[in-house]
Amino acid sequence: MTFLDRLTRNRSRIASAPADPMAPLREQLTGRLAVPSDVDWDAASQAWNLAVTQRPRAVVHAATARDVIAAVEFAAAHDLTVSAQPGGHGATRALDDTILVRTGALDDIWIDADARVARVGAGVKWGQLQKALAGTGLTGLVGSNADVTVVGFCLSGGLSWFSRAFGAGAHSLRAVELVDARGKHRWVSEESDPELMWALAGGGGDFGIVTAAEIALHPVPDLHGGRVAFPAAQAREVLAAFASATAVAPAETTLWASLMHFPPLPMLPEEIRGQSFVFVDALHVGSSADLDGALASIRAAGTVLRDGVGPLRPEQVADVCEEPVDPSPATTRSWSLRTLDDEVLDRIVSLAGDGSGTPLTQVQIRHLGAALRTADPARTATGSVAAEYQVMTLAMVPDAGFAAPVAAATTALGRALADWDAGPTVLSFLGESQSVADAFDAETLERLRSVKESVDPAATVRGNYPVRGR
């Protein structure tokens, strides 16, 4: 073959090579567009939860709200779907084949302490907001992990340390700045669009790509809390005391209990590596004497190995449960309970307590009620929460070999708790294997679907738990 022949063939190959289908979007972005052919694609597309292998079509690392608009407009014009994900704590496979918009760079925070309001970008994490609130005597409705974003938490319900006193995260949502399915960037409130605002407050990320939100702040002049640890062998006695204490706890007091089995991993401290414990975590809005009274019977129920209860600042609240902030491979599942009687405790300890051989890393029981139960069901999709307790399992799944035993243990616990089922939970507590129907009653879900049909009939925007199903 002559040089001229080779040159002609190479030119023919170049001319016939497919054009980059994402080029028009790439050219509009201030931020970066990642596609599967990129060398760092695995890192760009991976969620915080490493147990969920996402397969998006492309990833937009949005530098500005304008990048979000460009992504939505492109998706709508090309009959594609688009999703938002700042990090991916609540990741599911529902986001496969979407244009995934990373909103982490949208991190502006504006606080009006006098009005008790904060406006936060979609990428702002609870740790950032709580730190910004230091010295104001105010708090947002932060949960158990500082690495979770404020917007994602509130859009999906959000069970907070302060939920008994002030309601769920969705109840604090006042307004939302979003890019709708047509690419229009607008401010949504109860005044401007009450039905859409109702759906956004707890219905998830299925109604538009949120770029910022306004939330209510709450006064907490005095805070006390922390973790009390006991031997796992004393779980039944400690959990019985926990149940009794929660039955009479005021709205200002929140108590959570956990059975915890630490894996024998070398990176863990020696004092917990391969060990099991029962923890009671506490938070009280008010004096230390009131919290000590609530904890007295719990402390007396077992051998206290560690007692970290003391004064807290709002920016320390998310650290009480000592949850990891680095990405990890885990699966979760949750159920709501009407009550926590002796038979429920027997079943939980039998299946997940000391000596049970459970593959579950954690079974946590959260006390709900109070302001969660009395919230106005007409104002948010989260509505009022009927359950008195929430049970959540967490299991580490570093490889596929862990999946089957974890699934079997989770199924067994769910069956054991079925007689005490209190109905739908909040969206933020769903596990990857659960469906949107586990978070809402039939009437609420039908209303959410009606809103979806109204604002996004082509289903251009997709959340972790699409209201029409995956």
**Same domain, yes or no, for 166 and 284?**
no
19: DSSP letter? P
Same domain, yes or no: 62 and 190: no
Here the CATH number for the domain that contains residue 37 is: 3.30.43.10
**Do 52 and 120 belong to one domain?**
no
Q: What is the pLDDT of residues 88-122, one digit of tens each?
A: 999 999 999 999 999 999 999 999 999 999 999 99
CA dihedral sign, ordered 344, 347, 348, 350: positive
Q: 119 and 62 in one domain?
A: no
Q: Which domain holds residue 63?
A: 26-102
Confidence grade of residue 2 (pLDDT, cut at 50, 70, 90):
low
Which value, in Å, is the radius of gyration of the alpha carbons in the chain? 24
If we measure between CA atoms, which residue out of 207, 227, 167, 70 comes closest to residue 372? 167
What are 357-385's pLDDT values in tens digits?
A: 999 999 999 999 999 999 998 999 999 99
pLDDT tens readout for residues 11-40: 544 444 457 899 999 999 999 999 999 999
> Same domain for 94 and 144?
no
Are 214 and 227 part of one and the same domain? no
Instruction: Report if residue 77 sits inside a domain.
Output: yes
| Whether the predicted pLDDT of 3 surpasses 80 | no
Tell me if 424 is assigned to some domain: yes
Sequence-ordered alpha helix ranges (H) in 172-287 = 194-203, 235-248
Same domain, 306 and 336: yes
Nearest Cα neighbor of 154 from 139, 138, 167 is 167
Q: How far apart are CA 439 and CA 416, in angstroms?
A: 20
Paired residues of 99 in beta bridges: 58, 82
Domain total of the chain: 3
* Residue 275 and residue 346 in one domain: yes
Distance of CA 105 to the CA centre of its chain: 19
Q: Is residue 18 part of a domain?
A: no
pTM over 0.75: yes
Same domain, 334 and 197: no
My answer on whether 238 and 372 are in the same domain is yes
Please tell me the predicted confidence (pLDDT) of residue 400.
84
Stretch 397-412: mean pLDDT, rounded? 92
Does residue 277 sit in the same domain as residue 311?
Answer: yes
Q: Which of 102, 119, 142 is the C-terminal boundary of a domain?
A: 102
**In 3D, which of 467, 457, 407, 385 has the Cα closest to residue 171?**
385
Predicted local confidence at residue 13, as pLDDT: 47
- Residue 139 in domain: yes
